[in-house]
Amino acid sequence: MRKPYVIGIDIGGQSTKAGVVDARGNILVQTTFDSRDIDTLQGYLDTLTETLNKLINSAQVGGKDNVGGIGIGAPNGNYYKGTIEDAPNLKWAKDAAGNTRVVYLKEDVEKAMGLPVVVTNDANAAAQGEMIYGAAKGMKNFIEITLGTGVGSGIVIDGKVVYGHDGFAGELGHTTSIRRTGRQCNCGKIGCLETYASAIGLARTARELLEIDPQRPSLLRSLTADDITSKDVAEAAAKGDELSVEVFAFTGRLLGEAFADFVAFSAPEAIVLFGGLAQAGDLIFEPTIRAMEDNLLSIWKGKVKVIPSQLPGSEAAILGSAALAWEL
Look at residues 138, 137, 74, 64 and name the one whose alpha carbon lies nearest to residue 103.
74
Q: Do domains 5-127+315-325 and 138-308 have the same CATH topology?
A: yes
User: What class, spelled out in words, does domain 138-308 have in CATH?
Assistant: alpha beta
Residue 216 is predicted with a pLDDT of 96
- Look up the pTM and report it: 0.85
Contact 143, 262 (CB under 8 A): yes
Amino acid identity for residue 19 in this structure: G
DSSP state of 183: P
- Contact (CB, 8 A) for 135 and 307: yes
Mean pLDDT, all residues of the chain? 93
User: What is the C-alpha separation between 277 and 301, in angstroms, rounded?
Assistant: 25
| DSSP of 233-253 | HHHHHHTT-HHHHHHHHHHHH
For domain 5-127+315-325, the CATH architecture is 2-Layer Sandwich (3.30)
- Residue spans of the domains in the chain: they are 5-127+315-325, 138-308
Residue 156 one-letter amino acid? V
Share of the chain above pLDDT 70, in %: 98
Distance, in Å, from the CA atom of 47 to the CA atom of 283, rounded to the nearest integer, reads 37
Question: Over 90: is that where the pLDDT of 328 sits?
Answer: no
Query: What is the rounded CA–CA span in Å between residue 318 and residue 326?
Result: 13
User: 289-299: per-residue pLDDT in tens?
Assistant: 999 999 999 99
